[in-house]
Amino acid sequence: MKLSQLTKYQDIVIQCHDNPDPDTIGAGYALYKYFEEQGKRVRLVYGGHLKITKPNVCLMVEKLDIPLEHVQNLEIKELLITVDCQYGAGNVTRFEAPYVVVIDHHEEESREFDAKEIRQGLASTCTVVWQMFVEEGIDINKWYTVATALYYGLFTDSAGFSEVRHPFDKDMRDELRVDEALIRQLKNAVLTLSELEIAGMALIRHSYNVANKFVVVKAQECDPNILGFISDLAIQVDSVNVCLVYNQTIHGIKFSVRSCVKEVMANELANYLCDEMGSGGGNLDKAGGFINNKEFNEKNAHLNADEFFLRRLTNYYKSFEVIDAMDTIIDVSTFKTYKGEPVCTGMVPLCEVFPLNTTVCVRTIEGDIDLEITPNLYMLIGLRGEIRPITKEKFEENYVRLDEDLDLDFSYFPNARNKQGKVTFPLKEHTYKCRTKGESYVFAKALTKGAKLFTWWDRQRYIYGKPGDYLIVIKDNLRDIDIINKEVFEKRYKIYLDR
Ligand SMILES: [Mn+2]
């Protein structure tokens, strides 16, 4: 759905969820400004019994002059848009409306609306709205207060940016021009004294696992940001390598994860913890997630949350082995040889686009990766939008450049940022389509156990492979190791030598 499709309405009400937080307010306020500029009659409201009291939320509304109204009754003549919540769901007061649109980033739970824009991979509804503005070609930075509100909405919904998952979240964070003094003030008006007490109580009752050096902490119901605050403290303990802090609400379990060892990426662990029961993600060192009560009870009815996390974490540590391409020569004697089908990918000749000896941060669907620009450095873009550096020689040996339009469609096209200038550099116009040459051979074997692979070109983050995925070793370079998802592997490779 495009925002401009909604401009046919004259009377528009934007509704935040009850007990509104900065995300719903920020996203609602941006929409308010958009429709106001179009000359519409527009209101920004929230319902429910409670008026906002949280210090940071009150301050945000006051300082940014957000025209947010608390309503008990509401007459809607034409269009109602619920933001950061879904019409018909439990966290938003229901007002009758002729036409209802939902703009959100949560899992779809109600079907009572007429149209929707739900983008689940994003950390905040502010990011959803920001993207909709970008798609309309509107520069949000022309509204200082809107930019600041969106930024703060993402900030609070991602526990201080630690749980941003999608590159679009990072793009918004980096591109908005905001009132930094106000953001600083808002960041430091989050805790109430009673929440400080919740944090203290939680830390007293921790469970520590000596073998794997992890700690699990349960907190009482509190603002999700408090979980981040508690885990930031716990991870600083010298004998704690990984920590998990959670609390339970009527909807489910909200948790926050921290890691200070490279063998455990917080985002991957968060994802593992809520596998098929919710969603999780974030960064290498900080991440978080949410587990729905319904799915949790279906799968773990006999366990309480504490037992669940302790077991799941213990199983996690048993579930993988670590492979480091720099200090392992894999014994391929039990591997089979496969022949690669030709595939089309993208290629950027990095050494011709960027000055030599500079560091460029490439943002991809899999995360931000720093690359040092060396002579002859090229970069391949795979079918999911993931990247992989390659030397010019290797490229010319194994690929052909095609004189065709770049018709590869990624959900996020990688872009680059210069470390010094933080400038976004779209790589699309420098990307060539290419295809693997006829013959490419690899040794491969299906994993029987989870594996974490540190490749020669990314020393900070591992590629995680689950049982059934393939570990592959390039035939003419035994240090060139990769893990490929089962389905992708079976599509791309055919057995060549069964030995
Ligand atoms: Mn939200």
pLDDT digits (tens, 9 = 90+) for 1-10: 999 999 999 9
**Same-domain status, 63 and 84:** yes
**Same-domain status, 138 and 285:** no
Whether the per-residue pLDDT at 420 is higher than 70: the answer is no
Q: How far is the CA of 199 from the centre of ligand 1 (A)?
A: 23
Whether the per-residue pLDDT at 391 is higher than 60: the answer is yes
pLDDT at 419: 64
Q: How far is the CA of 80 from the centre of ligand 1 (A)?
A: 18
Q: How far is the CA of 84 from the centre of ligand 1 (A)?
A: 5
Distance CA 348, CA 390 (A): 10
pLDDT category at 422 given cuts 50, 70, 90 is low
DSSP 427-466: -GGG-EEEEE-S--EEEEEE-SSEEEEE-SS-SSSPEEE-
- Residue 268's H or E segment, with its range, is helix 266-273
Out of 170, 187, 204, a domain closes at 187
pLDDT at 499: 54
pLDDT category at 461 given cuts 50, 70, 90 is confident
Q: How far is the CA of 94 from the centre of ligand 1 (A)?
A: 19
Q: How far is the CA of 382 from the centre of ligand 1 (A)?
A: 31
Domain CATH number, residue 170: 3.90.1640.10
Q: How far is the CA of 166 from the centre of ligand 1 (A)?
A: 14
Q: How far is the CA of 421 from the centre of ligand 1 (A)?
A: 30
pLDDT at 365: 86
Q: How far is the CA of 79 from the centre of ligand 1 (A)?
A: 22
pLDDT at 477: 79
Whether the per-residue pLDDT at 59 is higher than 80: the answer is yes
Q: Per-residue pLDDT tens for 232-276?
A: 999 999 999 999 999 998 889 999 999 999 999 998 999 899 888
pLDDT at 188: 85
Contact partners, residue 104, CB within 8 Å, separation at least 6? 82, 83, 84, 85, 86, 116, 117, 118, 125, 128
**Same-domain status, 268 and 372:** no
Cα-trace Rg, the chain: 25
The 8-class DSSP code of residue 342 comes to: P
Whether the per-residue pLDDT at 467 is higher than 90: the answer is yes
Segment 452-476 shows an average pLDDT of: 89
Query: What's the domain count of the chain?
Result: 4
**Same-domain status, 112 and 252:** no
**Same-domain status, 109 and 221:** no
Q: How far is the CA of 85 from the centre of ligand 1 (A)?
A: 8
Q: How far is the CA of 83 from the centre of ligand 1 (A)?
A: 9
Out of 435, 454, 483, a domain closes at 435
Segment 374-388 shows an average pLDDT of: 90
**Same-domain status, 10 and 119:** yes
pLDDT at 108: 79
Q: How far is the CA of 286 from the centre of ligand 1 (A)?
A: 18
Distance CA 365, CA 157 (A): 20
Domain CATH number, residue 291: 3.10.310.30
Q: How far is the CA of 126 from the centre of ligand 1 (A)?
A: 8
Whether the per-residue pLDDT at 308 is higher than 70: the answer is yes
Structure tokens at 130: 């920001």
Whether the per-residue pLDDT at 421 is higher than 70: the answer is no
pLDDT category at 136 given cuts 50, 70, 90 is very high
CA atoms within 13 A on the CB side of 26: 31
**Same-domain status, 18 and 138:** yes
pLDDT at 170: 92
Out of 187, 207, 240, a domain closes at 187
**Same-domain status, 47 and 168:** yes
Instruction: Give residue 457's domain range.
Output: 320-342+438-499
Q: Per-residue pLDDT tens for 145-190?
A: 999 999 999 999 888 888 887 999 999 999 999 999 999 999 888 7
Q: How far is the CA of 194 from the centre of ligand 1 (A)?
A: 24
Percent pLDDT > 70 in the chain is: 99
Q: How far is the CA of 153 from the centre of ligand 1 (A)?
A: 8
**Same-domain status, 51 and 170:** yes
Whether the per-residue pLDDT at 444 is higher than 60: the answer is yes
Q: How far is the CA of 442 from the centre of ligand 1 (A)?
A: 45
Q: How far is the CA of 478 from the centre of ligand 1 (A)?
A: 46
Q: How far is the CA of 155 from the centre of ligand 1 (A)?
A: 10
Q: How far is the CA of 318 from the centre of ligand 1 (A)?
A: 34
Range among 43-57, 102-116, 395-409, 475-489 rated most confident: 43-57
**Same-domain status, 335 and 391:** no
**Same-domain status, 168 and 219:** no
Q: Which region among 89-93, 313-317, 415-419, 449-453 has the lowest average model confidence (pLDDT)?
A: 415-419
**Same-domain status, 451 and 399:** no
Distance CA 139, CA 127 (A): 14
